[in-house]
Structure 1
């Protein structure tokens, strides 16, 4: 697969035509946003839009909603995670979503995790593809059985430290070999381990992404990556004929690879302009031209 991945990502983006309506290019749901963390869900959700998804919803705690709304009028923000009967209020929205992203700015409150137990049960019954990042990874590390026999693709996006906690190792050595018990939870799990060389693998495939980027490690870059992964996964699964040369179980790998390439080039371009003062907001501004360079050959 590693020989074909560069060719496959060229077919990932849906064509921009006049015969589609709003929502067909991706409806993304981001579950995150708490009193302490409002930037993370914004970075993830706005990146999904900037990559090319049509609609991006944020399901957050009440205290975070007004702040997140103030960042951008483009996002559809629902302050539902900490209200009574949260899961029942969220349930009608799930049918609209192509992919669910869990974790950016979610926090680690026990009550929030109880709500996520219910939400993921609803996602399971609706066969919703998942991307899990940040505090969502901590949540899964406490209860990995929440993914056991999950019926749709799941992409986990840990950094090296999160990876070690997730699989119960020191994170050194062959990551795919170390992850076999975790990958065995479900047939559809893909892991994207972020490092100086990103590693992406499932049970059968293993690819790496290097190059680009910079030495600048400002906060929010992982949220940008997870938002891109979510949009790309929606595309990879919605119209599989564009990826006819890729088996279904490897389409999440393709989505992850594309997101890594994009994030690294956005980082490289923004760092060239701003150096040490670069922030993730600067990276988001580079998405358009980075996308054209990678996926449209411009």
Structure 2
């Protein structure tokens, strides 16, 4: 990609707010080194819990984005009829077509100790038996304090059973406008006020016991009920499907890094002590995806599709997090 084609607006990475500058420094500090001394899997083994007969693209986009962001291994746990299509999309993905198996929970239990983060929801569907399986998977992940990102149909489960994630500090929820409205109504007993974006997000985070919530939109509002961040990078006006899958997959990798390097990040700058790993990871992924979307839109305009974002992850990542001059 030429440097001219990748001419992003300054709003994507030049911020004056002191809090955002601290977050950006925190993100750069948490990046794992590129070293021949590291072993495969150390930079992230990410599990995507999703994929059914109707929806096979979403788990692919989430899984491949986790890898393109810098994770080492990406596992897709899907239903049996989604396995073969997903396997054909990329040899990079390790596909387990078992979510609708009668022994699915025990099968997954063997893999859980190897996973650094679960991304739950892309293409999951709403089959009752699969929903029950995923509820049990979430409970097992919480017991082992595994990182969790919940999106799409995973949010359908949380909206129906909010106690399943309540109080779990290693989780991030990523609802869009419609998903957020449903979740807010369930928790608060009323519809959200469209003029109170930050307040609404903080209310949901608090009602869930300080779980980190990302209300996606033209600006992404991130809150754990204590600290709030707003990612207002330019993004793009093309609303093609799949951008949320890019976000959740990359967020899974960032969350593993943030959690792993939490102590080192705080040691380097005491101001970062108030920034939880979930807040830092959420902001990192939101900014990355908005930057990718802006660049892809500059290249493709109305014909932009979500696949166009994937190859732009690398230059966007370098621009935002590996260029010390920013």
Question: What interval of TM-score do these two structures reach, taking the shorter chain for normalisation?
Answer: over 0.9
Partner of 2:194: 172
Structure 1 residue 25 corresponds to structure 2 residue 39: no
8 Å CA contact retained: 2:24, 2:321: no
CA 1:180 to 1:209, structure 2 compared with 1: closer, same or farther past 3 Å? closer
Gaps of 5+ in 1: none
Partner of 1:155: 172
1:115-194 matched pairs, under 5 angstroms: 115-150=133-168, 152-168=169-185, 169-170=191-192, 172-179=194-201, 182-184=204-206, 187=209, 189-194=211-216
Structure 1 residue 221 corresponds to structure 2 residue 219: no
8 Å CA contact retained: 1:164, 1:171: no
Partner of 1:113: 131
CA 1:181 to 1:203, structure 2 compared with 1: closer, same or farther past 3 Å? closer
Partner of 1:70: 88
Which moves more between the two structures, 166-175 or 60-69? 166-175
Tell me, in whole angstroms, the C-alpha distance in 2 between the residues paired with 1:187 and 1:239: 24
Which residue, 43, 48, 54 being the options, matches 1:36? 54
The CA deviation at 1:185 is 5.3
Tell me, in whole angstroms, the C-alpha distance in 1 between the residues paired with 2:92 and 2:62: 13
1:59 alignment partner, SS class:
strand
1:62-91 deviation per Cα after TM superposition (whole angstroms, max 9, x unaligned): 000110010000001000100111101110
1:10 alignment partner, SS class:
helix
1:195 alignment partner, SS class:
coil
Tell me, in whole angstroms, the C-alpha distance in 2 between the residues paired with 1:290 and 1:132: 24
Structure 1 residue 265 corresponds to structure 2 residue 285: no
8 Å CA contact retained: 1:198, 1:208: yes
2:61 alignment partner, SS class:
helix
Gaps of 5+ in 2: 1-18, 186-190
Tell me, in whole angstroms, the C-alpha distance in 2 between the residues paired with 1:267 and 1:83: 37
Partner of 1:91: 109
Structure 2 length normalisation: TM-score?
Answer: 0.87
CA 1:181 to 1:195, structure 2 compared with 1: closer, same or farther past 3 Å? closer
Once superposed, what is the RMSD of the aligned Cα atoms?
A: 1.7
The CA deviation at 1:95 is 0.3
The CA deviation at 1:179 is 4.6
Tell me, in whole angstroms, the C-alpha distance in 2 between the residues paired with 1:171 and 1:259: 26
Partner of 2:23: 5
Give aligned pairs, total. Answer: 297
Partner of 2:252: 230
